Structure 1
């Protein structure tokens, strides 16, 4: 044979040696079991941490979504309160209407009731202030007046109704308080 033909054979044997595993003894199942157990425990731990992290993320996003809904609802209701105040004033004026306009005036309280039911559906509550002790967190005092047979710091007149959504105050009640 020629030298050219021998060289490729030598190169092939070098490649074969690289591809063959080390001549060390192969690891037995008993030898790899502690390594596998540690790896499994590590993977289980990572899995549990990821699941807990996902659960916390889900709870945070749910709470954020709920907060955003309440904020948006409170903002919309705050914009509608002047309309509701006008309906309340219209109800009072409708009581004085007689004659031909009476049929129209009878419909105004129905519209006001419908508006209040919509607010109740949104879980918006009127602040009950009349004859209640003055609460600076819920009431805004416009005036203080002397009144007999009334305890001091009691709301004696509501000038403008206040509203709240749950614990959140949308608008304080404007009141007159006894001195």
Structure 2
């Protein structure tokens, strides 16, 4: 409530009380009681307005406190969001580098096993000799290939039984009563696997 308004109401009460005390125009007690009642009513109104003002002040103070708490919480959430975003970006970059490093290491492990095989092939091409000498060099290189595959955990897919679409790819079908149903009768290209993952399907001819 405005301080000036309070002062005006108090002055009004004092004026009425002074009017009652100095009133010589009549001796009627009713007149004095009426003026006093009006003064009391005005004073009560002042107290009521003051109470309203105090309540509004308290509510305003509470609202300010709540607003301050909300601002603090909002700022804390903003800071947390910024930190989380930075952590995620660092995690994404770190993961990308780790994946690249894993792929590079895997390639290196495979290539290291192939270098020796390539060396032997180059030597076989460079050496002058008979066909038999060349065949022996190729056989040695093939054995070295198989040894490298074994170290890498690579296996040749078995193609001696029935056709299995999980491991074999049929490019030709024939009817031949000398073979059973879905029997593999010829292998056009060997297939390989590592554990349960097929690296290359075996290309075959299937009977019946």
Tell me if both proteins adopt one fold, taking TM over 0.5 as the criterion: no
* TM-score, normalised with respect to structure 2: 0.40
- The structure number with the bigger radius of gyration is 2
* TM-score, normalised with respect to structure 1: 0.45
With CA pairs under 8 Å and 6+ residues apart, which has the higher RCO, 1 or 2?
Answer: 1
Greater percentage in helix: 2
